[in-house]
Amino acid sequence: MINLIEKLQSGDRLEASECFKLYDLDLFTLGKFANLKRQKLHGKKAFFNLNRHINPTNICADVCKFCAFSSHRKNPNPYIMSHDEIMQIVEKSVENGAKEIHIVSAHNPNTSWQWYLEIFKKIKEIYPNLHVKALTAAEVDFLSRHHGLSYDEVIDKMIEYGVDSMPGGGAEIFDEDIRAKICKGKVGSKNWLEIHKKWHERGRLSNATMLFGHIEEPKHRIDHMLRIRDLQDMTNGFNAFIPLVYQKDNNFIKVSKFMGSVEILKTMAISRLVLDNVPHIKAYWATSTINLAMVAQEFGADDLDGTIQKESIQSAAGAKSASGMDMRNFIDLIRSSGLTPVERDSMYNEIKVY
Ligand code: V47
């Protein structure tokens, strides 16, 4: 342990074998070193953006056991939005100040690939400066398999139709055994990484998530982070890493012990320490609660995601995020935590320091 602490003090990159020992350290030791790294990169800044999440359909060909959003026997309310409906939401969101639209759908087998992609063109025609963050690697994989397109073809179409960046969804946990238990049939780990690699190779940026607090163990989280770190060494295309805290309601994973705040904060801190090449660690308040997301800013995280306006995926599973967050509240909470609220764009350029 002394060697590991010396290594953390040096600030040098941790070897994989050292990363696997990090969970043995206590929260405050991890927090101290993660905060040093965070302060070195971002000082006291806590980033957020003005965004809107839109989930155009919940009808899904896949059956992920953690998902309470897709329509299934515990949530029998299938829907699919028309492009007109989506455009109305976009219009309202822009009126409310959104600068980014984050569009993620279930894998709906009853639609064409055009239904997935043409909406981006429609948005960009009217709002050329609105950032479109859309299509997870899981959706890319679904579109490829369902419509007989290669990954390259889907990705080139995304660019042609106006997608600016890719969200980090669908990564879940890369370990193949755990993945088979929680989301069998969905995009495999290697393919998730391959899709992001192809996206990065076209000069585009994306995020990476990790779903934790279900049946995985700490070693699986470290393995997940290391696979992200390896790809980032090659492409430098990840903007942010987002550890998503598992929400337990209305889904099909039986979890006997739920994750407490200490383990959540340790995971945030460890993310900062392992992912020395990813610029931002996002404490996504929708899954961690807003107060813990604020505390996480002192344990390695530097970003909170945004005001969201409406959230359907995590709130279906119990998170208190259904109606987003008021910008004033956001700013006041960041300030009262002793941090500097920084509104950013989707590429982390600073728009306004409050
Ligand atoms: O991949 C599904 C997760 C993700 C549950 O890129 C759940 O900036 C917790 O990826 N408990 C989609 N999480 C959302 C996502 C995301 C969110 C915010 C920002 C960004 C970004 C990306 O939601 C899925 C899945 O891991 N999810 N069910 C649940 N029960």
Residue at 301 is within a domain:
yes
Q: Is 242 in the pocket of ligand 1 (CB under 6 A)?
A: yes
Mean pLDDT value across residues 260-289: 96
Testing ligand 1's pocket by substitution, the residue of 65, 244, 320 carrying the most ligand atoms inside 8 A of its CB is: 244
Q: Render pLDDT for 240-251 as a digit per residue (tens, 0 to 9).
A: 999 999 999 999
d(Cα 251, Cα 234) in Å, to the nearest integer?
36
The residue among 267 and 324 whose pLDDT is bigger is 267
Number of domains in the chain: 1
User: Is the pLDDT at 73 greater than 80, yes or no?
Assistant: no
Q: Are strands 340-344 and 303-306 parallel, antiparallel or unpaired?
A: unpaired
Give the domain extent around 98. Answer: 2-8+18-353
pLDDT of residue 319: 87
Average pLDDT over residues 260-285: 97
What is the pLDDT at residue 307?
87
Rounded (5°) CA angle 128-102-81: 95
Which structure tokens are listed for 65?
């056991």
Q: How far is the CA of 149 from the centre of ligand 1 (A)?
A: 25
Q: Determine whether the shortest distance from the Cβ of 209 to ligand 1 is under 6 A.
A: yes
Percentage above 90 pLDDT, the chain: 88
Residues written for the chain: 354
Q: Is 239 in the pocket of ligand 1 (CB under 6 A)?
A: no
pLDDT band at 70 (very low <50, low <70, confident <90, very high): very high
Cβ 169 under 6 angstroms from ligand 1 = yes
Task: Check which CATH number belongs to the domain holding 219 and give it.
Answer: 3.20.20.70
List of residues 6+ apart from 194 with CB closer than 8 A = 151
Q: Do the domain assignments include residue 256?
A: yes
**pLDDT > 80? residue 257:** no
Cα–Cα distance list, 270 to 91, 176, 257, 309, 311 (Å): 39, 22, 21, 30, 27
DSSP code string of 271-298: HHHH-TT-SEEB--HHHH-HHHHHHHTT
Asked if the structure places residue 142 within a domain, the reply is yes
Residue 247 near ligand 1, beta carbon < 6 Å: yes
Residue 287 CA to ligand 1 center (angstroms) comes to 8
pLDDT at 72 over 90: no
Whether the model pTM is above 0.95: yes
* pLDDT for residue 32: 98
**Does the CB atom of residue 213 touch ligand 1 within 6 A?**
no
pLDDT, tens digit (0-9, with 9 covering 90-100), for 305-337: 988 888 888 889 988 878 888 889 889 999 999
The predicted pLDDT at position 1 comes to 74
Q: Pairing state of beta strands 45-49 and 303-306?
A: parallel
pLDDT of residue 34: 98
CA-nearest residue for atom 9, ligand 1, is 246
pLDDT of 64 strictly over 90: yes
Q: Which positions ≥6 away from 79 have C-beta within 8 Å?
A: 57, 58, 59, 71
pLDDT exceeds 80 at position 341: yes
Check pocket membership of 207 for ligand 1, CB cut-off 6 A.
yes
Q: What is the pLDDT of residue 147?
A: 97
Residue 299 has pLDDT above 90, yes or no: yes
Res 115 pLDDT > 80: yes
When pLDDT is averaged across residues 235-258 and rounded to a whole number, the result is 92
Q: CA-CA distance, 275 to 149, in Å (whole number)?
A: 33
* Paired residues of 75 in beta bridges: 72
Tell me if 346 CB under 6 Å of ligand 1. no
317 DSSP assignment: T
Q: Please give the pLDDT value at position 173.
A: 98
Query: What confidence category does residue 177 fall into, taking pLDDT thresholds of 50, 70 and 90?
Result: very high
Buried b (16+ CB within 10 A) or exposed e, 328-339: eebbebbeebeb
13 falls within a domain: no
Cβ–ligand 1 distance for 243 under 6 Å, the answer no
- For tokens 């309202």, name the residue: 92
Give the Cβ contact number of residue 325 at 10 Å.
20
